[in-house]
Amino acid sequence: MSDDIKKGLLGIVVDETEISKVMPEINSLTYRGYAAQDLCARCDFEEVAYLILNKELPNKKQLKEFKKELSKEITLSKNLINILKQIPKKSHPMDVARTAVSVMGLEDKETKDNSPEANLRKAIRIFAKTPTALAAFYRLRKGKKIIPPKKKFGFSENFFHMCFGKVPNKEIVKAFDVSLILYAEHSFNVSTFTARTITSSLSDIHGAITGAIASLKGPLHGGANEEVMHMMKKIKKPENALKWINNALDNKGVVMGFGHRVYKSGDSRVPTMREYFKRVAIIKKDKTFEKIYDIVEKVMIKEKNIYPNVDYPTGPTYHLMGFDTDFFTPIFVISRITGWSAHIMEQHAANKLIRPLASYKGNKHRKVIQLNQR
C-alpha cells in the first residue's frame, strides 16, 4: 500500500472547527474552550447542550428559555407513537433511534430549510424528542405502557421517569448528567464525520443525524460501552478477572473500552466518569464491577500500556442504574445529538462537498465476453 494512502484518514486534517478539541497542553477534551471535566463540575447537561449549539454558556434567562423550548418540543406525534408500537420488540434500540429521527424528518415542516435559524430549531426538536422516543420503545418492548414526560423534570430526570416510572436520587441523576456531558461532543469522530459528509451534499439535518446514528451503532465507536458490559458479565466476579484478562491477551483478543486514537496519555474524560461510577456503585451497594474494572485496568496498563477510554466506566455505570445493555449506545445518541447538530450547522456555514479520492488496485481494462462464450 502506498505511503500516500491514509487508511481511516489517519492524521489527515480535512476542515476547521470551533466546537471541540483535545488540548494537549492540558490533556483535556474541551467544548468551545471549556474543559469537559470543569463543565461536569459546574453545569447541568442542558447548559452544556446550549453551549455546544449556541457557542456560549447561557445566563439564567437564556437557560430558562432553552429548557422551556425543550419542554415544548418533548412530546411525540401520534403517528410516531403508532410507528414505535409497530416496531418488532426484538429490534435493536439504535435502529429504533434511526427510524424515529427519520420519521421526525417526514413530519417536520422545516425539513428542507437549511438556514441557520431553521437548523437550530430542528436540532432542538430532535434533541428534545429522541429521548422520548427511545424511552417509549424501552417500555413497549417490555410490554409496558408508555410514560409521558413531565414538564417539572429536567432532561436527565425525565429520561429516568419515562423509562422506569420513577426518578432516582440526585447523585445518580448527576452521574447520568455527567455521562451525557462527557459524550456530547468529540470533534471529527466517525459518526460526526458521517454527519458532516452527508451535510456537505446539502442534505437535511434529519438525514445527517440518521446517518450518524447508523455510524455510531458500530462496536468500534459508540457500541463499545455495550461490549464493555458484555465483557464484564462474562467475567462475572472479581476472582475471575485476572485469569480472564491474561487469557484474552495471550490469545490476542480485543479488550473493549481501552485505547483511543486521539488520546496518547489516557482519555481525559475517564477520571470524572470513574469517580461517578464509584459513587453509583456505593449507592447501589454493588462493587462487583468496580473490582473487575480495577483488575482489568491494571493488567492492560502494565502489559500493554493501553489506558481506558470513557466507555469503560460508562458501561457498568449505566448497568448499575438499571438500563438494559443494548440501551447504552442509544443513551450516547441522546447526548451526541448536540455535537452532531453543531457540526452540521458548522458544515452548512462554510460548506464544500466532501469527495476524497481512491487509489484503484483492481483489474486492468478487460473486454466484455458475451454470456454464451464465458
Task: Give the 3-state secondary structure of residue 30.
Answer: strand
Q: What angle do CA 39, 255, 275 make, to 5 degrees?
A: 30
Question: Alpha-carbon distance 150 to 206, whole Å?
Answer: 25
**92, 95, 221, 324: which is the annotated catalytic residue?**
221
Question: Alpha-carbon distance 141 to 93, whole Å?
Answer: 10
Phi and psi for 144 in degrees, rounded to 5?
-105, 160
**186, 206, 260, 348: which is the annotated catalytic residue?**
260
Helices 93-107 and 78-86, axial angle in degrees (round to 10): 150
Task: Give the 3-state secondary structure of residue 348.
Answer: helix
Please say if 348 is a catalytic residue. no
**What is the residue type of 200?**
S
DSSP states of 222-241: TTHHHHHHHHHHHH-SHHHH
Please say if 221 is a catalytic residue. yes
Which of 324, 328, 326, 330 minimizes the C-alpha distance to 312?
A: 328
Phi and psi for 258 in degrees, rounded to 5?
-125, 145
Specify whether the CB–CB gap between 255 and 296 falls below 8 A. Answer: yes
**For the chain, where are the alpha helices, taking DSSP H only?**
36-42, 45-54, 60-73, 78-86, 93-107, 116-140, 155-164, 170-183, 190-200, 205-216, 224-235, 238-250, 270-284, 288-304, 311-321, 328-349
**311, 319, 343, 348: which is the annotated catalytic residue?**
311
**165-203 burial string, b = 16+ CB within 10 Å, else e?**
eebbeeebbbbbbbbbbbbbbbbbbbbbbbbbbbbbeeb
Please say if 260 is a catalytic residue. yes
Catalytic center residues: 221, 260, 311
